[in-house]
Structure 1
Amino acid sequence: MIKLDYGNISVNKVGATHGLNLEQVFKDSEGRIRDIVSQMYAEKDQAGGWKRWLNLGYDQALADELNAYAQSVKGRFSDMVILGIGGSSLGGYALLRALLHPYWNQLSDAQRQGFPRYYFVENVDGDQINPLMEMLDPQRTLFVVISKSGTTAETMSAFMIAKDWLERKLPPEKVKEHIVAITDAKTGVLRPVADKEQYQTFEVPDDVGGRFSVFCAVGLLPAVLCGVSLAEIQNGIRDLDKVLQNPDLQQNPAAQGALIQYSLYERDKRISVFMPYSFRLASVSDWYVQLWAESLGKKTDLQGNTVHVGPTPVRAVGVTDQHSQVQLFNEGPFDKVFTFVSVGKPAQDIQIPANQFSDIEDLNYLNGKPMSQLMQAEFDSTRASITANQRPNMTLHLPQVDAYHVAQLLYLLEVQTAIAGALMGIDPFDQPGVELAKKYTYALMGRKGYENLVAEARGEKSAIGV
């Protein structure tokens, strides 16, 4: 399974100023970690606790429902458009980028074996929406609208445009066949609309927040519609979950990662860099940024004290960012902790030709070498340079990029985030800072009930104390 190597966090590798005495840190925190992990899993079915995402890997009924729907529509749609934002978009996109052909949308229908191309509309920019609609065939396009509340302005505005487009292009009785809604089971604005219009619907379960929703229909429906194996995803989660439920710090990699990040945050390592060495995992970095930032960046702790805490996540991708950010990483401020992701076996490899530039000494060392060897050398050298410059770092080792192991990577990061939140004494499942901005948007757009916030939203009135 996925493994965590935290050796380069220790004082032996990066020095006492920037490293941790891991043996002492683990010893001092064993009891606290035991309580946090035990309590978290004990509360996974508790209403209002927002921990039911811990159950998603075991939801066989959902997998069966999604597989049945995917089979029923296979071959009917050449294009799938996912309308969502944040947690309703990033997880599904990370799965598809990781698990499908890197140039999936450029493949022919035959090469895709009848599965659709995919597009994510996660912005309100006409430069994204208009050109996409111009190239789609309404007869062959499926829209998946994802919003638990149905009031997400970005998602619902895009949905209104898509619905109008379908209604102008298709017979009235056919429109519903081209729309799937993923929303709350009973409440919200989208649920009654979907029921009235008779759309195919799937639920966002109670007590599952957006950034922890990748393993419900939010992330799994786009995946299964493109042929990804839900069985492999769930098997990966279930196998890893046996390890992560263990409250013994010495045996739990998610708890180890959370404790290390928290301990270094307390020592002013306030930036968390996430850097996979894989083209396929590039979008996992984007997903991680939301997971870490929205979960851990909080104004108040659980006792209501003002604390203004939260590590800042930074996205990076190897080897690309060796020529972008690594100069800063190696010689800039000592304010970062690094999480690398290495992949043992690439999905595809290619050998550098042995007959190119053989007469040029500065290039012939590459001749005949597989690209995977170069990738591994780049990773090893970057990690070594980061360590030599006394920058604490750890590595998640992924045997290969497939549904089983990518699911483990995402699930481990979810559990790590929840444990880190508990260590920081904050609620990792709310997002009040996001909600205030949403209210200001409602006010500026003229939504009824938010008129009193217009002046604040325009900057005409101080918002101090809000």
Structure 2
Amino acid sequence: MATRTRELQFDFAACFGKGKIAASLWKKNLSKANAALARLARETGEGKLGFWKLPATYGATRGLSHVVAMAEAVRQRFDNLVVIGIGGSSLGGRMLFNALAHRYHNELPREFGGPMRLYFLENNDPDSYAELMDRLDLSRTLFNVVSKSGSTAETACQYVLVRDRLQRELPDGWRSHFLFTTDPKAGLLRDLAHEERIETLEIPSDVGGRYSVLCPVGLFPAQAIGIDAKALLAGAARMAKRCLDPAIDANPALQGALMHVLADRELGRNMVVSMPYADRLRDWTEWFGQLWAESLGKEKTASGETVRAGTTPIKALGAIDQHSQVQLYMEGPNDKVFMFIRNERFEHPTSFPKKGDMPKAFQYFAGHSMEELLLAEQRATRFALGEQGRMTYQVTTPRIDADAVGQLVFWAEAMTVLAGYLYGVDPFDQPGVELGKKFAYGLMGRAGYEEYRQRIEKAEKG
């Protein structure tokens, strides 16, 4: 498909052919794809999908102004920003940080490293918590607690610990070292903000955690460290239009969704390996993994039929995982679809020395660059997998900047929702996650969850 220079390009051709998706199978299922797209168009037109509205809501100067003002205010006062959150409350922000900040942002002197240092307290690992807290100057640190409900145990426990330490070390001003990002009206964190007079940013009530990167959950930490949030939203807005195109060949989200569902249902390709060839997109694979797994991994359809839907996301990084995972991908079970992300332009291509200035064994590098080598490895690995009958497709970005990442994020979100519609499941709920939480609450003695503790103890005793 012909595209403008700034637009992501998509190549699904290697997913079709002998032993892959047959043209007849594709044609047979186009009506289902068109129905899914019609539903998406209807629901977005009616304003029912909160995440779809985010690029327009925050892309407008007025919508983003509060986030920008808050980011500017905290930059003036603090050196460190610590995001306390887990899952959708942190993966998106960390993905943007990894993709768009300097590789060693937190290690650079302030005059080179941007407005603030940025850290994430996600897992409730006591060693990770203690070692970060021990190196921070708390008087120069803001803690951004992110949770829509406020009840997430991993986030709540770290908030309680930070709050206790701040009250002891900064008794007169501890409240000003917190910023809550939470539901605008309801939830434990919203109630706590009122009780303790803590400033807040809002997560729109119709936006779920794994779809929240383009609201203050991701935009605030990005803006605070100097990432161009407007460009991020502009890229997402253009991709949103592409993902409503009625022509499937021009709609990368619809193409991807139908391809993945057919590969799973008809061919047994029930895993998706996302493999960018760029360190900046390492955390994108983790963000995508949550989006895809929580949205599509469902026991039942929206109407209650048992389907056991979903494909398993696997994280890989080129060229590193050529030396760890590709042996399995080449010669192991043919049960995967491979998503390659190719970055055409790196900031520092880094040319090799002249032929005469290198050992003879490495002189084939002469006249080339590290960028060329990495791109050659990506091209070669994709071709080699194709030679083995593996299904691959490629997303090409002209460069990794805020605009391109905005496109990549929104494409993945739209493709996921359309895949959910094709499976017949609700791509916005996560009932399977809740049961484990209830058992954990029971083990920790939370009131109202005693029966869950009893069930575990009974089972363990045999």
TM-score by length of 1: 0.94
Corresponding position of 1:68: 69
1:341 is aligned to: 341
Is 1:90–1:287's contact at 8 Å kept on the other side of the alignment? yes
Post-superposition shift, 1:110?
Answer: 0.9
1:99 pairs with 2:100: yes
Alpha-carbon separation, structure 1, partners of 2:458 and 2:80: 42
Deviations 1:253-290 (A, max 9, x none): 10001111111001100111000111100000011111
In the alignment, what sits opposite 2:8? 2
Where do residues 399-410 of structure 1 align in structure 2 (5 Å cutoff)?
Answer: 399-410=398-409
For the residue of structure 1 that corresponds to 2:44, the secondary structure is coil
How many angstroms does 1:242 deviate by?
Answer: 1.5
How far is 1:357 from its partner? 6.2
1:256 aligns with 2:255: yes
Q: Report SS of the residue matched to 1:82.
A: strand
Aligned to 1:54: 52
CA contact (8 A) 1:167 1:175 kept: yes
Q: Using the TM superposition, give the Cα deviation of residue 423 of structure 1 relative to its aligned residue in structure 2, in angstroms.
A: 0.7
Shift of 1:46: 5.9
Q: What is the rounded CA distance, in whole Å, between the counterparts of 1:75 and 1:245 in structure 2?
A: 41
CA distance in 2, matches of 1:98, 1:163: 31
Superposition deviation, residue 334 in structure 1: 0.7
**Cα deviation digits, residues 148-206 of structure 1 (max 9, x gap):** 1110000010111111121112142x222211101111111110111222222111112
Aligned partners of 2:236 and 2:257: how far apart in 1? 18
Pair 190,248 (structure 1): closer, same or farther in 2 beyond 3 Å:
same
1:27-84: CA deviation from partner (whole Å, max 9, x where unpaired): 323332222122223223768x5x2100000113431110111122223211111100
Q: Find the counterpart in structure 1 of residue 214 from structure 2.
A: 215
Supply the RMSD in Å over aligned alpha carbons. 1.7
- Size of the aligned set, in residue pairs, is 452
| Alpha-carbon offset, residue 359 of structure 1 | 4.5
- Of residues 232-241 and 68-77 in structure 1, the stretch that sits farther from structure 2 once superposed is 68-77
Q: CA deviation at 1:349?
A: 1.8
Q: Give the direction of change, closer, same or farther, for the CA distance of 1:364–1:166 in structure 2 (3 Å limit).
A: same
- Equivalent in the alignment of 2:145: 145
Cross-structure match for 2:377: 378
CA distance in 1, matches of 2:387, 2:76: 53
Q: Provide the rounded CA distance (Å) in 1 between the counterparts of 2:315 and 2:413.
A: 17
Please say if residues 107 and 113 of structure 2, whose CA atoms lie closer than 8 Å, have aligned partners that are also in contact: no
**8 A contact 1:80–1:116 mirrored in 2:** yes
**Structure 1 segment 192-341 matched on structure 2, within 5 A:** 192-266=191-265, 267-341=267-341
- Matched with 1:445 is 444
| CA pair 249-25 structure 1, distance change in 2 beyond 3 A | farther
Give the equivalent residue in structure 2 for 1:31. Answer: 31
| Distance in 1 of aligned mates of 2:222 and 2:356 | 41
CA–CA distance in structure 2, aligned partners of residues 444 and 337 of structure 1: 39
Deviation per CA, 1:205-257: give whole Å up to 9, x if none: 12211111111111111101111111101111111112112232122110001
| Match in the other structure for 2:110 | 109
Residue in structure 2 matched with residue 130 of structure 1 by the alignment: 130
**Greater mean alpha carbon deviation, residues 104-113 or residues 283-292:** 104-113
> 1:209, 1:358 → 2: CA distance?
54
Match of 1:85 in 2: 86
**Correspondence for 2:3:** none
**Code of the aligned partner of 2:345:** K
CA contact (8 A) 2:344 2:399 kept: yes
Q: Secondary structure at the match of 2:280?
A: coil
Q: Following superposition of structure 1 onto structure 2, how do residues 381-396 of structure 1 map, counting pairs within 5 Å? A: 381-396=380-395
1:309 Cα deviation from its structure 2 partner: 2.1
* C-alpha separation in 1, matches of 2:162 and 2:353: 48
- Given that 1:145 and 1:155 are in contact with CA atoms closer than 8 Å, whether structure 2 keeps it comes out as yes
C-alpha change, 1:123 and 1:359, in structure 2 (3 Å) is closer
8 Å CA contact 2:236–2:409 kept in 1: the answer is no
CA–CA separation in structure 2 for the residues paired with 1:28 and 1:319: 37
- List gaps (5 residues or longer) in structure 2: 1-6
Q: How does 1:167-178 map to 2 (within 5 A)?
A: 167-172=167-172, 174-178=173-177
Change (3 A) 1:86 1:323: same
Structure 1 gaps of 5+ residues are none
For normalisation by structure 2, the TM-score amounts to 0.94
Contact 1:26 1:249 in 2 (8 A): no
SS at 1:214 equivalent: coil
Distance 1:171 1:454, change over 3 A: closer
2:353 corresponds to? 353
Does the residue aligned with 2:112 lie in a helix, a strand or coil?
Answer: coil
* SS of equivalent residue, structure 2 residue 314: strand
The CA distance in 1 between the partners of 2:63 and 2:151, in whole Å, is 25
In structure 1, C-alpha distance between the alignment counterparts of 2:356 and 2:298, rounded to whole Å: 55
More helix by share: 2
AA aligned to 2:122 is E
Shift of 1:444: 0.6
Instruction: Flag as ranges the 4+ runs of structure 1 deviating above 6 A.
Output: none
Paired with 1:29 and 1:437, the residues of 2 have a C-alpha distance of 36
Alignment correspondent of 1:418: 417
Distance in 1, matches of 2:359 and 2:101, equals: 39
